[in-house]
Amino acid sequence: MARRKELNYFILITMLFSLTVLFVFHKREFSHKKVLSWKYQTADAQILTKACRALVNNSRSVFLWKNTLAMSPMNSSCEDYINKNHYITKPLSEEEAEFPIAYIMTLHKEFETFERVLRTVYAPQNVYCIHIDAKATNDYVRAVQKLEKCFPNVFIASRMEPVIYAGISRLQADLHCMKDLMTPQWQWKYAINMCGQDFPMKTNKEIVHHLKQFKGKNITPGTKPPQHAVHRTKYSYREYMDNNHAFVHGTKKLKKPPPHNITIFFGSAYYAVSRGFGHFVLTDKRAIDLLGWSWDTYSPDEHYWVTLNRLSDAPGAMPDATWEGDLRCIKWLDQFGEKGCHGHYVRDICIYGQGDLPWLLQNTCVFANKFELHSYPPTLECLELILRERTLSQSETEIDPSWYL
């Protein structure tokens, strides 16, 4: 009996040749959810599917888990990288082909997590501008550069900022990409900004449907500043950086009122905006002056887009908008408490563990924030499997069954 168990264990490892991280759970019978159909055919996919179903249904089992793609951009040709990692290489429907989306992706760490994010949101009709934090390591930059060269619609921003949390540099990073995306080469309908630790909760077709509901209006969730956020634009703040530290430092200096009597709104740093609005923020004098005024505010990306979208004559404006748009699922510490996050908190935001999967799948948001592949591989792996299955079921183009993994 002991020898038979050892043989079974050896066979399992052979089947999962690249699986490296062991997660131990107690055995329990799998249950089924009607919302997931789980059609995967390969041996790897069948095992991962069972494991993911267990996690989604709060069951427990014993399994091994991989946390890297089949090929790395650093040691493979672009053809092998794209084919063996099963990237989508043609539009999966006419509707998607006619509704290209631009993505602004700001990165500073977690290259393997970013790889998974890009593979999941990638479609050949879309365009992807990548801003790399100027403080990132040389190895990190080289990895992104190698990846970029494999795709004609993926490019690195023409200018890179040393991004400081809550500083003007975070807003500048987005604006550099927005400027690069405004060339005639890229004819997109909406631009969506992401960080490298976001992950989509919808397929590309579902994102297209979500955006179409707004009929060209910009999605910038927010409202007038609550009392606890007033200080962000009332006083002057400065970015500070040396070899060891980078942070935003507050002062007691009062700021002048906003230019053009603009009413400041406060909200999410994440948005989905029309091409016309992108041109507006780069050329309109009010937008340019607001950017200059925002230079010494705290976290200006959380008021800049929201405020400009409330100007009634801005392209795609929503002057009466509040928090609609459902762009992000985020577990905040003050809302969910210490036990509400099954991973861990960073700056009061939950890094999702596998125990957060049921909560994530109950939400209707477009993206979720945040993930770390190395810390909690099953969370991201299972979401990707579910999304890739939904993508397959929605596709109007034939896809090889081996595409699953």
Rounded Cα–Cα distance for residues 176 and 115 (Å): 22
Q: Same domain for 27 and 80?
A: no
Q: Same domain for 215 and 311?
A: yes
**Residue with tokens 């992000």, as numbered in its chain:** 328
**Residue 272 in 3-state DSSP?**
strand
Q: Same domain for 38 and 102?
A: no
Beta strand 246-254 with 367-369: parallel, antiparallel or unpaired? unpaired
Q: Same domain for 32 and 145?
A: no
In the prediction, which pLDDT does 70 show?
73
Strand runs (DSSP E) across 243-362, as ranges?
A: 246-254, 266-267, 272-274, 328-330, 344-346, 349-351
Percentage of the chain with pLDDT > 90?
Answer: 74
Q: Same domain for 73 and 155?
A: yes
For residue 109, what is the domain's CATH number?
3.90.550
Q: Which of 271, 305, 327 is the last residue of a domain?
A: 327
User: Range of 264's domain?
Assistant: 69-327
In the prediction, which pLDDT does 402 show?
57
Q: Same domain for 56 and 78?
A: no
* Mean pLDDT of the 55-75 span: 69
Q: What are phi and psi of 39, to 5 degrees?
A: -100, 10
If one counts the domains in the chain, the total is 2
In the prediction, which pLDDT does 345 show?
97
Q: What is the pLDDT of residues 17-38, one digit of tens each?
A: 444 433 333 333 333 333 333 3
For helices 285-293 and 275-283, give the axis angle rounded to 10 degrees. Answer: 70
User: Would residue 363 count as lying in a domain?
Assistant: no
Q: Same domain for 5 and 98?
A: no
Which residues are part of the catalytic machinery?
A: 302
Whether 195 has a pLDDT exceeding 60, the answer reads: yes
User: Would residue 78 count as lying in a domain?
Assistant: yes
Whether 13 has a pLDDT exceeding 60, the answer reads: no
User: Would residue 343 count as lying in a domain?
Assistant: no
Higher pLDDT, 72 or 125: 125
In the prediction, which pLDDT does 43 show?
56
3-state helix, strand, coil split of the chain in percent (to 5) is: 40, 15, 45
User: Would residue 365 count as lying in a domain?
Assistant: no
User: Would residue 11 count as lying in a domain?
Assistant: yes
Segment (H or E) for 346: strand 344-346
Rounded Cα–Cα distance for residues 400 and 288 (Å): 49
Whether 48 has a pLDDT exceeding 80, the answer reads: no
* Mean pLDDT of the 231-239 span: 96
Q: Same domain for 190 and 260?
A: yes
User: Would residue 20 count as lying in a domain?
Assistant: yes
Q: Same domain for 150 and 25?
A: no
Q: What is the pLDDT of residues 343-400, one digit of tens each?
A: 999 999 999 999 999 999 999 999 999 999 999 998 999 999 999 989 989 999 877 6
User: Would residue 342 count as lying in a domain?
Assistant: no
Q: Same domain for 102 and 248?
A: yes
Which of 154, 60, 63, 62 minimizes the C-alpha distance to 115? 154
User: Would residue 361 count as lying in a domain?
Assistant: no
Q: What is the pLDDT of residues 197-209, one digit of tens each?
A: 999 999 999 999 9
Q: Which of 287, 302, 327 is the last residue of a domain?
A: 327
Tokens at 200, concatenated: 């989509």
Q: Same domain for 29 and 103?
A: no
Rounded Cα–Cα distance for residues 304 and 308 (Å): 6
Q: Same domain for 21 and 51?
A: yes
Rounded Cα–Cα distance for residues 266 and 15 (Å): 51
Which of 204, 215, 72 minimizes the C-alpha distance to 127? 204
Mean pLDDT estimate for the chain = 87
Q: Which of 298, 327, 356 is the last residue of a domain?
A: 327
Among the residue ranges 37-46, 99-108, 270-279, 286-295, the one predicted with the least confidence is 37-46
